[in-house]
Amino acid sequence: MNTAIVGASGYGGEVLVKLLAAHPKVDLVAITSRSEAGMPVSQVMPQLRGSLDGLRFEKSDPEAIAGRDDIECVFLAVPHGVAAEYAGPIARSGKQVIDCSADFRISDPAIYEEYYGRPHPDTDVLSRAVYVLPEIAKDGWTDASVFACPGCYPTSILVPLFPLIRAKIVGTSGIVANSFSGVSGAGKQSNEAFAYCEVNGSAKAYGIPKHRHLSEIEEQLGRAGQGEVVLQFNPHLAPMNRGIITTITVPSSGASIDDLYSAWEDWYCKRPFVHILPADTRPESKYTIDTNRIDISAIKDERTGNFVITSAEDNLMKGLAGQAVQIMNLWQGWDETEGLTHG
């Protein structure tokens, strides 16, 4: 299958290029970047020398990509607001769109405007898009023409919590999630706050109490609980290149730790990228780097009656590029691990 990537010069885009270049069932025929247009891909990304030597970055143009007859699936690795400029023309041309931005993750345009500070740029495409976190996605999602790839933080929270809320193992209020992300989660930007001397040896909270990803998290957890779910989400910037570690405290509703693990095992027993660790083992971000895996474990604090759940993932893989490829695999009816077997 022939694929293209729009906006491939960021950290997540680079990982996506690497994955698609090595995918046994995919030909990567177009890569766009406004900043790198005209440059050989292997010159901008030296790690790809020998595999993409004949490919150059093209100018990012929605109509040009939409008009290409040799492309079947387009990955959008551009910021929110920009992705919507491409999704409409490309989807209307009959191509599949897998969007890694936030433009189509939130179903309600009013909530999007509340969290992103601007009206939704394309409500028509939004009405036809479907949110796809493969492990919890709705039945029939492969019929849509636009797939919204989940955010990195939401993935680290939704995977452990969704089946527990669905099974009423945990409560739907009083939930607190503390997440730590590597600096690559902020993308490539010239900003003093993300310079080496500013982040090395230091960690800080940011985006509290209403980080943009909160809207996405609460909408999907509400789907699990069939009602409102309120969560306190506290993201932090950590002095590491990549990776996410999340700790969730949630009322147990009287359930035991065995009940929790049974719910996880029932839900994820056939999902190769969810690794359920023993209750006495804490996930560590370094062991998920360069994989599409998410590691989860939990204990029960008998003193407070809360479960304490921990998850770890690579923000650029399961949190972005790897998950996008996983979505493509499932949409095509391929094994979901195709091209991702190292994780």
Are 90 and 97 within 8 A, CB to CB? yes
Q: Which among 186, 173, 296 is positioned nearest to 236, based on CA atoms?
A: 186
Q: Which residues contact 261 (CB under 8 A, 6 or more apart)?
A: 276, 279, 298
Q: What's the CA angle centered on 313, arms 307 and 315, to 5 degrees? A: 130
Catalytic residue among 73, 149, 152, 269: 152
Question: What secondary structure does DSSP assign to 8-27, as a single string?
Answer: TTSHHHHHHHHHHHH-TT-E
For the chain, how far is it from start to end, CA to CA, in angstroms? 22
SS3 content of the chain, % helix, strand, coil (to 5): 35, 20, 45
Rounded CA separation 160/179 (Å)? 13
**152 given a catalytic annotation:** yes
Among candidates 75, 81, 69, 40, which has minimal Cα distance to 57? Answer: 40
Q: Which residues are catalytic?
A: 152
